[in-house]
Amino acid sequence: MKDKVVVITGSTSGIGKACAFAFGEAGAKVVISGRDAVKLKSTADELTQKGIICRAVQSDVSQEADAQNLISETIQQFGKLDILINNAGISMRALFQNLDLAVIKQVMDINFYGTVYATKYALPYILESKGSVIGISSIAGYRGLPGRTGYSASKFAMQGFLEALRTEVMHQGVHVMVACPGFTASNIRNTALNAQGNVQGESPRAEEKMMTAEEVATRILKATQKRQREVIMTTQGKLTVFLNKWLPGLTDKLVYNVMAKEKDSPFK
């Protein structure tokens, strides 16, 4: 990673922030982005204090112009781009029958189109460096989760997009990877949208029992160095993908039961 230039979207908290430290401490120059200017500056200061060379660019990657500017500022600052980590994301929790369709659009704009926009403008430079395009996905990208229709759709779309892209560039030396952390202790459930598009606030799951964002970032770093195709990080996640492929009817029941046990579950 020494002197590699890494762009990480949505990197002011959770997995994105942890990746900024993991890749930076491994020797990379890190470009962080996010919508909140205060959090962005705070994260940049923390990285600098650790001796990590970084650039902070305020951007909302669901807006094409912002994604283009993020890549332009990276090239202006460092002259190249080696790794793009598409991490910016938002979740939702509500039954589809009760859901305002604007919620699905917002989730798709950030999770899917944010990946498309950032990748579109980064790809010419990554082709040049024979670098990596990484998507931070979810088990919801392999198996639709009830109560999270919009989130599942966005992650399926991301993974389909990246799989197609991987095949397009397979003879050009570019590495494309999908990383699926499983349930990770972060603020994504706190900021998840409810049926009306409002932030739900309290997480419905026991965050203290989950994999930490730092552990996820370390695994993403190692998988990037090995140029792996995909990485599914939890036993629960691997089992879900396996069962959904071979015993889909059973998986329907198991997934429903798990989601129904969540605090304030929409199934109750």
Burial of 152 (0-12, 13-18, 19+ CB in 10 A): buried
Distance CA 129, CA 1 (A): 13
Report the candidate in 213, 260, 234, 255 with the shortest Cα–Cα distance to residue 13: 213
Sheet arrangement for strand 5-8: 54-58, 29-34, 5-8, 83-86, 132-136, 175-180, 230-232
Q: Which amino acid is at 217?
A: A
Residue 58: how many other CB atoms lie within 10 Å? 18
Whether the CB-CB separation of 6 and 85 falls below 8 Å is answered with yes
121 catalytic? Reply is no
Here the tokens at position 95 are 């039954």
Distance CA 76, CA 66 (A): 15
DSSP E strands in 70-218: the ranges are: 83-86, 132-136, 175-180, 184-185, 211-212
* β-sheet bridge partners, residue 250: none
> One of 117, 125, 151, 256 is an active-site residue; which one?
151
Point out the residues that are catalytic. Answer: 151
